[in-house]
Structure 1
Amino acid sequence: MTDDAYLFLLDDASAASLGVSPAAVGDLACLETPAVRAWLDAHGSTPASPHLRLLPPEETAAIPEGAERLPVPLSDEELSRLRHRMAPEPFARIEGELLAYRDCAGGRDGLIGRALAAGVPPRRIVELTGVDPETVTAAANGSVERR
């Protein structure tokens, strides 16, 4: 297995169920690099081509034999978006919920601290957030742990 994702070109756009269109993943820094631009130009392709596909490192063995391919590094966020786009619809929905939770919960400790500083009673913070009372107490003392 490689650590790089791969861009590759399919001969037949009808086989486009393999991988993901880079455009569907959103902005990818690698598409702006001279190496990728030169590779696309050499193959008469563009980032929007229906023949251009992208696979994460763990899936690159699925690239058809003989397909033109190029390893590309992706950031952790780009790789996460790619994997999300590749997930079957039921997984993609729940992954979306997990990502929303991560984004929301990531600022939990700071939010609890701001609420306490604003004078919101700890019992009300527990009611509104569903966190353990010990977590709110720890935040009041400046030593919040993740639960």
Structure 2
Amino acid sequence: MTDDAYLALLTGPGATLGVPPAAVGELAFMDTPAVRAWLDAQGVTPTSPELRLLPPEQTAALPEDAERLPVPLGDEELSRLRHETAPQDVARLEQELLAYRDCADGREALLARAVAAGVPPYRIAELTGEDLAAVEAVAG
């Protein structure tokens, strides 16, 4: 397996690998001279149906004769790509995990605000599903 994502031209059975780049949204590398030159050399546009973007974990499945170009992806771009290439049930779970992360980021601050406002620790634990000992530790 490689650490690089790849743009590839795929037809036939390999055409199900990856996703069209447009499915991932804005991608910084698409406007680079190297990518534009590669697309021109292949005679395709960024919206060509045979153009696919593959995450690093799928590149081993690329047919040997497929035209390909390694491309740099930022963390957010790679996350969006992996979300788009995940099976639908996994993609839904990933959305839930992201929502949980967003909620959990301010967890201790929210618990501390509730304690400071006078909400009893047992009630905070009841409302949040947090362990009472964890709430009491924040209430400290």
State TM-score, norm by structure 2.
0.83
Q: Which residue type is aligned with residue 70 of structure 1?
A: L
Tell me the equivalent position of 1:32. Answer: 31
What's the CA shift string for 1:1-53, capped at 9, x where partnerless? Answer: 2111111112x388532211111122222223332233223323332221110
Cα RMSD between the aligned structures? 2.2
1:145 corresponds to which residue? Answer: none
What's 2:113 paired with?
A: 114
Equivalent residue number for residue 51 of structure 2: 52
What is the distance in 2 between the residues matched to 1:85 and 1:105?
Answer: 24
Q: Distance in 1 between matches of 2:44 and 2:114?
A: 53
Instruction: Give the drift of 1:82.
Output: 1.6
Please state which structure has a larger fraction of its residues in helix.
2
Q: Which amino acid aligns with 1:7?
A: L
Aligned: 1:3 with 2:3: yes
Return the alpha-carbon distance in structure 1 between the equivalents of residues 86 and 118 of structure 2: 44
Q: What runs of 5+ residues in structure 1 fail to find an aligned partner?
A: 142-147
Name the CA distance, whole Å, in 1 between partners of 2:60 and 2:100.
Answer: 32
Matched residues, percent identical?
Answer: 71
Which AA in structure 1 matches 2:136? T
For this pair of structures, how many residues does the alignment match?
140
- Corresponding residue of 2:99: 100
Q: Deviations over 1:107-144 (max 9, x none)?
A: 21222223233333322221211101121122223xxx
Is the 8 Å Cα contact of residues 13 and 50 (structure 1) preserved in structure 2?
Answer: no
TM-score (norm 1): 0.80
Q: Shift of residue 71 of structure 1?
A: 0.6
